[in-house]
Structure 1
């Protein structure tokens, strides 16, 4: 699922000034890439990215001022296609009258910002990437534990929400319960958040729906979090072999990314909140270069080697 963005959304989000083309504010924006039409101003349109927001900075405006009015109008009319979302002028520069004329004829908005071109480009790109990123919904609970986005998954009734409640009581922050919307912002980043209708809410069987922010304060929740690790809760199976050392590394594929996964068996008496909390701390420690399981295995092998040499 991909969210849609209109020129009106972009205008309101970045507080852009509308110069002309109000009729085109509902034009869709389908890509987060921007275009700075320098080559197009010279007449080269072979690779014109017409579906991108066209950004004009000092360079483009200065170049157009050196063109004749007729030639300038011709170039701008060529830029105005059915797929062109909008023109955005940075640094509060004056938009060329030819651009305004061509955009008005094509009913394409011309917007203006006070920001410098580079900074404006970053803001526009970041906003469009966040809105146009592909999104999937996953059943689970997302919690911010020591700065890590931990997605707790498992079958219905296994205790995900109750575990999240205990984690919140221990000072961690709830992001989403039951339905987690995950979007891929780039090749290395997955961001999880809650649907608006259930934001800050937890469903506890026997108790009902509670508002975590109302009960525990604003510090107990956050709106979104980068997904770092997945913890899968499953009912204890006595016939299944569970990793007791920590050398096995599981992965779960979300979009085209492999996310580290830990499987935790559930049975009466196990404090799942503490286990998940320690799992998050241990994951951070591994990223810092220390792996307790590998260190133990290495020490054990060294001890076996020493004993073998003594026996010989």
Structure 2
């Protein structure tokens, strides 16, 4: 099972350390939690193994309590030993919280960010960092905002197709080795493995850095994978001009991704076909089918 450390959170968001505690503590849940009901004494559904975020509302409430009440409420929450506490908006007057965190060796951290902004960014970071993942051989590109996975045998032309797409204004995500992350039951993200970030390997040319060669817009850190395209060698009579192809799918981490096959032949605009496939997928998601419209026109005649 994947996990993050509290130190990873500190490094990612440059958090101020008020109580160091054990920053090697494990974060195993992807969503941060605001302990509001818990400070009021209700613990039936306390997400104690999540990062605990204390915003203005929580800190203001604690400030208004008597010292005895405050010690009691904080003590009841801290004894569950959550991974860490993060105080937002650089709030002060936290001596009572510092005391209990020091006793339990729990990191107490602080950020100037508003609560909603920190929680949004932290949730994305933790969800991605804790997501189940796998690596596959292929190329990942973002075509007009649509994540496309290009697969095929070595030397079939995946990287060359990606290069043509980049020159047409689309973006590279990863070449050769693509890391897939499952961030929800229906969502797969494609990203690089850090080593191959921004690099594209072209036969006869060598390794190029797409950001240096074509500008920052030529590269994207990650994208949601919505199309799986397999590039294959041309087979005579294997393709027909059907009005609408029967849907096919490929499964990655138990998530089904629409799959199509594009056969290669000298002179065939493969990059253009990838663009057409991506844009056609988008139209289908909007409820439009070219085949349905064509048949309606035939019926009118």
Could you say which residue in structure 1 is the equivalent of 2:34?
36
* Equivalent runs, 1:151-300 vs 2, <5 Å: 151-238=149-236, 240=238, 242=240, 244-300=242-298
Q: Give 1:148 shift.
A: 1.6
Q: 2:117 aligns with which of 111, 116, 119?
A: 119
Q: Deviations over 1:17-41 (max 9, x none)?
A: 2212x13222221112222223332
Q: 2:90 aligns with which of 89, 92, 96?
A: 92
Is contact 1:247–1:293 with CA below 8 Å preserved after alignment? Answer: no
Equivalent position SS for 1:24: coil
CA root-mean-square deviation: 2.6
CA distance, structure 1, for counterparts of residue 242 and residue 122 of structure 2: 48
Could you say which residue in structure 1 is the equivalent of 2:57?
59
Structure 1 runs (4+) deviating above 6 angstroms are none
* CA 79–95 in structure 1, closer or farther in 2 if over 3 Å, else same: farther
Q: Give 1:103 shift.
A: 0.5
CA distance, structure 2, for counterparts of residue 143 and residue 58 of structure 1: 42
CA distance, structure 2, for counterparts of residue 16 and residue 186 of structure 1: 27
* CA 49–290 in structure 1, closer or farther in 2 if over 3 Å, else same: closer
CA distance, structure 2, for counterparts of residue 11 and residue 71 of structure 1: 30
TM-score, normalised with respect to structure 2: 0.87
Q: 1:135 aligns with which of 130, 133, 137?
A: 133
Q: Deviations over 1:246-292 (max 9, x none)?
A: 34222222334332222112233322122212222333333444322
Instruction: Judge which range, 73-82 or 99-108, deviates more.
Output: 73-82
Equivalent position SS for 1:232: strand
Could you say which residue in structure 2 is the equivalent of 1:6?
5
CA distance, structure 2, for counterparts of residue 215 and residue 7 of structure 1: 37
Is contact 2:182–2:189 with CA below 8 Å preserved after alignment? Answer: yes
CA distance, structure 2, for counterparts of residue 118 and residue 215 of structure 1: 38
* CA 91–59 in structure 1, closer or farther in 2 if over 3 Å, else same: same
Q: Give 1:122 shift.
A: 2.1
Higher-Rg member (1/2) = 1
Instruction: Judge which range, 66-75 or 174-183, deviates more.
Output: 66-75
CA distance, structure 2, for counterparts of residue 253 and residue 204 of structure 1: 28
TM-score, normalised with respect to structure 1: 0.84
Could you say which residue in structure 2 is the equivalent of 1:309?
none
CA distance, structure 1, for counterparts of residue 249 and residue 12 of structure 2: 37
Q: 1:106 aligns with which of 92, 104, 113?
A: 104
CA distance, structure 1, for counterparts of residue 89 and residue 112 of structure 2: 5
CA distance, structure 1, for counterparts of residue 93 and residue 38 of structure 2: 17
Q: What are the ranges of 5 or more consecutive residues in structure 1 without an aligned counterpart? A: 307-312
CA distance, structure 2, for counterparts of residue 183 and residue 274 of structure 1: 28
